[in-house]
Amino acid sequence: MTDELNNPDIPIPDELKGQVTVTTLDKIYNWGRRSSIWPMMFGLACCAIEMIATAASRYDFSRFGMEIMRPSPRQSDVMIVSGTVTKKMVPQIVRLYNQMPEPKYVLAMGACASGGGPFKEGYSVVSGIDKFLPVDVYVPGCPPTPQALLHGLIKLQEKIDQQSIKSVDWYDKKAIEEIPIPVLGPDLIDPRDFMRIKGSSKATLKTDNEKSSEN
Ligand code: SF4
């Protein structure tokens, strides 16, 4: 057992040190989860090359329990959104996120995934994946270095350390709702915005009708 699991409030006699650990349920539960976060294997643009370098032998994020990347959302714990998020890709990204089992996390890697990057306001690009998914950690840079990505993953581990089995969403009796998959037509529409769009188009129609009756 590792020393980081020890509860400092409960002293262990010297002769038992290294053989006995007194810990809390939260600590051991989070230690297990934070030490086996498997990333989903997918990349979107240039940032993905840095992500691949982070997984390779020089930086090797297996040292942090990330192990191998999983090619299936059903075996993945963290989605690293590495690259430019185009409107065409958003429905697929959200669908994959919905297919990941809880607990799941999202890391926005680089300027594009965090806020649109150099393509912000471009006709084909969204201004950050956080418009659609709940992002846990942002890693700045264009592209971020492998060290920066490792730092982001360590921050994610620290976030997991703060969670408690008593309050996490996925043990709540209420089912966690899926994120509605955006619809790509002439532009990308988030189904959660339908009512707002409907309301504003009705208001525009009303004003147009009023103008034409005045004429
Ligand atoms: S942040 Fe920079 S390096 Fe990363 S995908 Fe965007 S343009 Fe490429």
**CB distance 128 to ligand 1 below 6 Å:** no
CB-side neighbour CA atoms (13 Å) of 126: 26
∠109-110-112 over CA atoms, to 5°? 110
DSSP state letters, 79-136: EEEES--BTTTHHHHHHHHHHSPSS-EEEEEHHHHHH-GGGTT-TTB-S-GGGTS--S
Report how far apart, in Å, the C-alpha atoms of 59 and of each of 28, 104, 175, 183 are.
27, 24, 38, 38
Chain centroid to CA 130: how far?
9
**CB distance 100 to ligand 1 below 6 Å:** no
Closest approach atom of ligand 1 to CA 118 = 7
Nearest CA to ligand 1 atom 5: 83
Q: How far is the CA of 46 from the centre of ligand 1 (A)?
A: 5
Q: How far is the CA of 125 from the centre of ligand 1 (A)?
A: 12
**CB distance 66 to ligand 1 below 6 Å:** no
Q: How far is the CA of 169 from the centre of ligand 1 (A)?
A: 32
Closest CA to 50 of 152, 147, 154: 147
CB-side neighbour CA atoms (13 Å) of 1: 15
Both tokens assigned to 110: 């680089």
The reported pLDDT for the residue numbered 1 is: 53
**CB distance 81 to ligand 1 below 6 Å:** no
Beta bridge partners, 188, equal: 184
**CB distance 45 to ligand 1 below 6 Å:** yes
The reported pLDDT for the residue numbered 5 is: 75
Closest approach atom of ligand 1 to CA 47 = 4
Q: How far is the CA of 66 from the centre of ligand 1 (A)?
A: 23
**CB distance 199 to ligand 1 below 6 Å:** no
d(CA 153, CA 208) in angstroms, rounded, equals 52
Digits of tens for pLDDT over the chain (215 positions)?
Answer: 566 777 777 788 888 877 888 888 999 999 999 999 999 998 999 999 999 999 999 999 999 888 789 999 999 999 999 999 999 999 999 999 999 999 999 999 999 999 999 998 889 999 999 999 999 999 999 999 999 999 999 999 999 999 998 888 888 877 788 899 999 888 888 888 877 777 777 777 666 667 677 76
The reported pLDDT for the residue numbered 55 is: 93
∠90-92-97 over CA atoms, to 5°? 95
